[in-house]
Amino acid sequence: APKIVSASKRHPIVPLPAGQAYKYGTAGFRMKADLLEGVTFRVGLIAALRSRKLNSQAIGVMITASHNPAIDNGVKVVDPMGEMLEQDWEAYATLLVNAPTDDALLETYNKLATQLKIDLSTPAKVIYGRDTRPSGHKLVGALADALDATNTEAVDYKILTTPQLHYLTRCTNTEGTPSSYGKVSEVGYYEKMAEAFVRALKGRKIDGPLTVDCANGVGGPKLREFLKYVPKDKVKFDVKVVNDDVLRPEVLNLDCGADFVKTKQRAPPSPKPVIGARCCSLDGDADRLIYYWVDEKTGFFMLDGDRISSLAASFIADLVRAAGLEEDLRIGVVQTAYANGASTSYITQHLRLPVVCTPTGVKHLHHAACNFDVGVYFEANGHGTVLFSAEAIRTFGAKEPQSPAQKDALDTLAAVADLINQTVGDAISDMLLVEVILAHKSWTMRDWAVTYTDLPNRLVRVEVADKDLFRTTDAERRLSHPPGAQDEIDQCVKKYSSARAFARASGTENACRVYAEAATRVEADELANKVAQIVK
């Protein structure tokens, strides 16, 4: 215990202005990197407690601020199967991080241990990684000190994508068991994905080159590394890796990356877009993916998380039918309020699959997707994955095929389940899935784009005095507070055709967000501005 206090003194917490507190939000703790050293030390203490609470299973800690500016950083905790930290523990993390002094910290730590019936002599294990931000190095030092001070076994995986850390956490905890998720190493991740990629393609050709914008983040070097594991004699996969400069930290996420493309609704200015070329962008920690291309006649066209979701759902539903499993497996799609209404209609009416809406944040979508045998979940921003139940995976291997076509479908389903990162949305894995699906369907970008037409939409950020006044219900689609605000929004929406709008407090910034969609561009813009006025 004295070790915790002396170590904490080396990583002091920065006091916030009166009335403010650190909060474990949807992205863990995320802020300017210079505020994070003490926070990261304390997150180390929480991770160690969590490991001890869960019978010494390994807990993951990832240091990244994803698509945010290079000067930001963040720290979040990964649960044993690679999921997001359990919600109750977000509150414990918040409590511990806000302890005002080193002694108060120790007191809170001991109180938590007693309250949660944690035996502090139980062994603990924490594995961690970081993105390419220079500040990550110092934060890892603080984390390591916390693990050392609590006698916690630590494994430093150095620089990783966020989904790689999730993968490694699950592999560590399933190693040597029947549910082993793969080899416990970065190489194991590449090998597993490359093998599944080849198997899922089964000789089908990928059409032309793919340009991948890596946001000048960790995805660049990791994608290059992955490509070495794709056997050239089996698959011709012509990838042009661009925006992969990780040596100049200031260019991270700057005018490139998935968040840029999604929010600006245009291609990164560099490299100069090539007409007709298939392109995609990853974000700064490679857990988001957006596809796009520039059409000769119609210009820039974006295929976001909703598009990837409906593409994956349609492909998997077809395979499940072809495998004769439609009576056995329940397939569902999970979206948030940000999903374009046209995508929701396409999935429910055309694909005839159920759609569930949850609040923003991966943990909510992931949780809802677990209720299906095959749960496809994506946020419009490009974060998502497909979850297969253990029973579904068993069935793909165990079902006796009645025809060569059934066998082909079963094999492809098994390969796809291995290809998709089951722990969290993974841009590299999702990209390989999209490439596999386009190859199977022999689709061009245009074929994919014409499946449905997006409703014009607008997202605006509204500065408000106190965002906490805005409380939502119905998966963030309606405001319950402040009183009367929702009625005003309803009155506005009524005046437009095919319109929908909502307002919610951001979980990552001190602002509100307003989303509106309507039949035309002009109407969507107008509606978004009117709702923003109501919120202001």
CA distance 217 to 22: 26
Q: Point out which span in 127-135, 179-187, 272-280, 504-512 binds ligand 16G (CB under 6 A).
A: 504-512
Contact with Zn ion (CB under 5 A) among 8, 51, 66, 422: 66
Contact with ligand 16G (CB under 6 A) among 509, 520, 525, 529: 509
What count of other Cβ atoms lies within 10 Å of the Cβ of residue 327?
A: 7
Contact with ligand 16G (CB under 6 A) among 182, 507, 520, 525: 507
Note if 66 is an active site residue: yes
Report the C-alpha dihedral over residues 66, 82, 339, 223, rounded to 10 degrees. 50
Q: Point out which span in 295-303, 357-365, 427-435, 441-449 binds ligand 16G (CB under 6 A).
A: 357-365
Give the DSSP H or E segment for 200: helix 186-201
Q: Point out which span in 58-66, 101-109, 294-302, 417-425 binds Zn ion (CB under 5 A).
A: 58-66
Contact with Zn ion (CB under 5 A) among 37, 131, 213, 285: 285
Q: Is 361 in the site for ligand 16G (CB under 6 A)?
A: yes
55's tokens: 């019978």
b/e for 149-180, b at 16 or more Cβ within 10 A? bbebebeebebbbbbbbbbbbbbbbbeeeeee
Cβ-based nearer residue to ligand 16G, 8 or 457: 457
How many C-alpha atoms does 325 have within 13 Å on its Cβ side? 27
CB neighbour class for 400 (10 Å; exposed up to 12, middle 13-18, buried from 19): exposed
Angle, vertex CA 87, rays to CA 86 and CA 92, nearest 5: 95
Of 301, 368, 378, give the one whose Cα is nearest residue 344.
Answer: 378
Q: Is 418 in the site for ligand 16G (CB under 6 A)?
A: no
Q: Is 310 in the site for ligand 16G (CB under 6 A)?
A: no
Q: Is 508 in the site for ligand 16G (CB under 6 A)?
A: yes
Give Cβ neighbours of residue 329 (< 8 Å, ≥ 6 apart). 320, 373, 374, 392, 395
CB-CB contact of 394 with 188 (8 Å):
no
Min dist. Cβ of residue 68 to Zn ion (A): 9
Q: Is 287 in the site for Zn ion (CB under 5 A)?
A: yes
Of 199, 42, 62, give the one whose Cα is nearest residue 136.
Answer: 62
Q: Is 261 in the site for ligand 16G (CB under 6 A)?
A: no
Min dist. Cβ of residue 267 to Zn ion (A): 19
Q: Is 406 in the site for ligand 16G (CB under 6 A)?
A: no
Contact with ligand 16G (CB under 6 A) among 5, 26, 188, 206: 26
Choosing among ligand 16G, Zn ion, none, which partner's interface includes residue 506 (Cβ < 5 to 8 Å by kind)? Answer: ligand 16G
Binding mask 371-390 for ligand 16G (x = CB under 6 A): --------x-x-x-------
Active site residues: 66
Q: Residue numbers of the site for Zn ion (CB under 5 A)?
A: 66, 283, 285, 287
